[in-house]
């Protein structure tokens, strides 16, 4: 079982600048316009001058969409995450991989400001509050703790996930300039399914998601090693 989601970052001054904006203010844009989760959209990202991976959204209903991540040379991959647009939120239900489903269930969630301070509880019932649908004008932090159950075996992994979502800002990558992106910083921790073992950090990275283009416009990974990828192509299928 993968300890870190395949699809799945240091907070910059630009993130912190958003703290002065009232939390209730929205930009008038939504996550669907950036992620393209409601479209049969796809993209291919490169690293070190060659293909590093590919993603593709496959809407399953008016509210549910799956995104696959993998190697375009062996497409389609076995890995696919399931997201649900529910009211003000996009929720992460879990993911499929190697013929089984990994169901994610929350035990505790919090929401706070761009510094992950002023945290308050989020009412949780099952899936993870992954990102706000309407994009706020201020950055915000999400913290989640819970379990992932490998349905084929019953194995349970305990995890912690912290995200900071930043409002739209100009962005560029190695192949494209003059775009507008929202940024996700995330840190993922888990115990690899070993009871009694403390959760430890498995991933830290930034992901920039470009309006009208989609996921992985730019990825800067910081942990477990420094790594950079840039979206090279995107299309509708």
Q: What are the CA-CA distances from residue 24 to residues 65, 113, 134, 135, 141 (Å)?
A: 27, 12, 10, 10, 14
Over residues 169-194, mean pLDDT? 97
Domains of the chain: 13-236 (2.40.360)
Give the three-state DSSP class for 31: helix
Q: What is the mean pLDDT of the chain?
A: 91
Write the pLDDT tens digit of every residue in 190-232: 999 998 899 999 999 999 999 999 999 999 999 999 999 999 9
pLDDT band (50, 70, 90) for residue 24: low
For the cut 90, the answer to whether the pLDDT of residue 22 exceeds it is: no
- The residue length of the chain stands at 237
Over residues 157-184, mean pLDDT? 98
Write the pLDDT tens digit of every residue in 93-151: 999 999 999 999 999 999 999 999 999 999 987 999 999 999 999 999 999 999 999 99
Give the three-state DSSP class for 177: coil
pLDDT of residue 189: 98
Any idea which of 12-21, 153-162, 171-180, 217-226 has the lowest mean pLDDT?
12-21
Q: What are the CA-CA distances from residue 54 to residues 42, 48, 167 (Å)?
A: 7, 15, 25
Helix (H) or strand (E) holding 21: none
């Amino acid at each position: 079982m993968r300890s870190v989601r395949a699809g799945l970052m240091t907070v910059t001054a630009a993130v912190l600048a958003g703290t002065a904006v009232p939390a209730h203010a929205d930009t008038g844009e939504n996550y669907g316009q950036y992620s393209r989760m409601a479209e049969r959209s796809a993209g291919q990202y490169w690293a070190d001058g060659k293909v590093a991976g590919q993603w593709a959204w496959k809407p399953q209903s008016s509210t549910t969409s799956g995104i696959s991540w993998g190697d375009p040379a062996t497409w389609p991959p076995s890995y696919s995450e399931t997201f649900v647009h529910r009211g003000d939120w996009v929720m992460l239900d879990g993911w499929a991989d190697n013929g089984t489903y990994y169901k994610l269930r929350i035990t505790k969630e919090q929401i706070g400001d761009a510094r992950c301070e002023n945290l308050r509880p989020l009412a949780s019932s099952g899936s993870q509050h992954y990102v706000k649908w309407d994009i706020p004008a201020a950055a915000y932090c999400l913290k989640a703790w819970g379990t992932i159950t490998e349905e084929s075996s019953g194995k349970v992994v305990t995890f912690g996930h912290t995200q900071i979502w930043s409002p739209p800002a100009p962005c560029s990558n190695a192949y494209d300039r003059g775009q507008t992106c929202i940024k996700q910083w995330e840190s993922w921790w888990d115990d690899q399914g070993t009871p009694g073992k403390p959760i430890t950090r498995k991933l830290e990275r930034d992901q920039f998601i470009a309006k009208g283009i989609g996921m992985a416009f730019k990825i800067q990974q910081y942990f477990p090693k420094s790594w950079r990828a840039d979206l090279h192509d995107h299309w509708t299928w």
